Amino acid sequence: MSDELDPVLRRMFAQANTPIEAEPFTTDLVKRLAAQRGLRFGAAALTAILGTVLNGFLNGLKPARLLLVGAAAVTLWVSFL
Amino acid sequence: MPALGQVAEATVVALAMSGDRAAFTELVRRRQAAVRGLLRRLSRDSALADDLAQLTFIKAWRALPQLRSVAAFGGWLRRLAVNTWLEHRRSNPSGLTTLDEGAPEPIAPRSSVDEALDLDRALLQLSPDERLCVVLAYHEGMSHGEISEATRMPLGTVKSHVKRGAERLRGLLAGYPAPEEQLHVG
């Protein structure tokens, strides 16, 4: 059996191809990608902050210092948003 | 430096592969009609098709760094679209749009504007696998081998689906004339 196609159907499929406008599809997709990137970055930053605070706690930092490290980490996170 | 819109696709793909968001947006602008057109023909629901097209491009953005060659981008993106459609079918087996109420009736020819609608109506009479194979062969111009590779169906099954699907479509659209007959009309 060859790949030969029915000429009537070929014509119908070719004629059924109507132009599709790029907008608002493209803009919506860009927004969706940006939102996903923000979520992923937020999750990564939160993990990093918790890791930093836990590390400080395990290494015997006093609560005031822990707070200072945590505040520095949050400041760093916010500056990237 | 020329605007991205005037740059050859291979360069735009290479830029997007390196993480350039503007280049990827340009690729979306260039390829969206092809991806959405394919998914619309498969689903006949333009909102669902556009949603699946968005998923396809999101997957493409994530997987682009793994693309082996810039020249393979078009085929790779089409395979991603087909996979997205197949995943949707698997997760929504009951939600598939197929007209299977009673025996299919032949569709009478109408104006050329309605022809596309008639084609879509006739496509819905096919089984999902037949529809997929017929659309990939006729809409995308893929060979049986390419369809087999993209859908992971055996080659013989693909050939059979394309043949039987096309025969059923021709039966349903029997009123539409062959190209030679059309030349003599009017």
CB-CB under 8 Å, A30 with B138: no
Q: Find the residue in B nearest to A22 (Cα).
A: B29
Q: What distance, in Å, lies between the first and last C-alpha atoms of chain B?
A: 52
Where in chain A are the domains?
24-80
The complex's ipTM? 0.75
Q: Note the pLDDT of residue A75.
A: 76
CB-CB under 8 Å, B166 with A36: no
| pLDDT digit string, tens, across residues A5-31 | 888 899 889 888 888 888 999 999 999
The crossing angle, in degrees rounded to 10, of helices B144-151 and B73-91 is 50
Q: Note the pLDDT of residue B11.
A: 93
Q: Which residues 6+ apart lie within 8 Å of B156 measured at CB?
A: none
In chain B, % of residues over pLDDT 70:
83
CATH architecture of the domain B8-96 equals: Orthogonal Bundle (1.10)
Q: Are B129 and B153 in contact (CB under 8 A)?
A: yes
- Coil, strand or helix: which one is B58? helix
CATH architecture of the domain B103-177 equals: Orthogonal Bundle (1.10)
Please state which of the ranges A24-28, A39-43, B11-15, B182-186 shows the lowest mean pLDDT: B182-186
Report the distance separating Cα A45 and Cα B95, nearest Å. 39
Q: pTM value?
A: 0.75
Higher pLDDT, B113 or B55: B55
Say whether pLDDT at A81 is over 80: no
CATH 1.10.10.10 intervals, chain B:
103-177
The crossing angle, in degrees rounded to 10, of helices B144-151 and B155-172 is 110
In this prediction, residue B183 has a pLDDT band, given cuts at 50, 70 and 90, of: very low
Q: Note the pLDDT of residue B185.
A: 42
Residues of B in contact with A29 (CB under 8 A): 28, 54, 57-58
| pLDDT digit string, tens, across residues B117-171 | 888 889 989 999 999 999 999 999 999 999 999 999 999 999 999 999 999 999 9
Q: Note the pLDDT of residue A71.
A: 77
Q: Which residues of B make CB contacts under 8 Å with A? A: 21, 25, 28-29, 32-33, 36-37, 40-41, 50, 53-54, 57-58, 61, 112, 115-116, 119-120, 134, 137-139, 143-144, 159, 163, 166, 169-170, 173, 176-179
Residue with tokens 């006729």: B138
Q: Note the pLDDT of residue B104.
A: 58
In this prediction, residue B36 has a pLDDT band, given cuts at 50, 70 and 90, of: very high
| pLDDT digit string, tens, across residues A22-63 | 899 999 999 998 888 777 777 777 787 778 778 777 877 777
